[in-house]
Amino acid sequence: MKVIQTTILGVVIIEPTVHSDKRGYFFESFKTSDFQAHGLPTHFVQDNQAKSTKGVLRGLHYQLDYPQGKLVWVSAGKVMDVAVDIRKESPTFGQHVSTTLDNKNHNRVYVPPGFAHGYYVLSETAVFQYKCTDYYHPEDEYGLNWNDPGIGIKWTNGDKLVSEKDNAFPNLEDMDPNLLPPYSG
């Protein structure tokens, strides 16, 4: 496996070594020793899966009191995946990383705690999966406006199907600083 550091420290793209032949393909999707060797978390407590149709945009979500690191990937279809650094006093505060995840390249992205995360479905359907370093607590869910002009995410063209809850999240500049995670440097 190859680990690629993005423009924001801690957010990494993980390229598995895929072995293909006329029968199909094989790759190791998670191996504790490989993750340890690259300084990545190996303790995940919850796996989640979501199936969505083209145009669905989910996010940008985060947990504050129970922050989650997320190992994310797509097992069917194609999405635009986004992580936004919302850690107070972080040198990359308000910056984002975006990448395409699909079932052809099999890449994964590790999004550390302290980031808002979301994705936009580019294919007819997509199955999005992720492992979390902490449990989901519905009372601790927060979010950031997916279309915040101050962050400037260049979402792929097309209609966006967004939940009422996600549409109601504030822009980063309007958020109560007490509802943003700390930066621990």
Task: Find out whether 29 and 20 touch, Cβ atoms under 8 Å.
Answer: no
Assess whether 117 carries a catalytic annotation.
no
Active-site residue (options: 43, 61, 106, 120): 61
Q: How far apart are CA 46 and CA 23, in angstroms?
A: 32
Q: How far apart are CA 117 and CA 133, in angstroms?
A: 14
Amino acid at residue number 21: D
Active-site residue (options: 119, 120, 130, 142): 130
Written as six digits, the tokens of 54 are: 């083209």
Helix (H) or strand (E) holding 120: strand 115-121
Q: How far apart are CA 185 and CA 183, in angstroms?
A: 6
Q: How far apart are CA 24 and CA 171, in angstroms?
A: 44
Residue 72 pairs in a beta bridge with: 109, 130
Q: Which of 39, 106, 33, 112 is nearest to 70 (CA)?
A: 112
Residues labelled catalytic: 61, 130
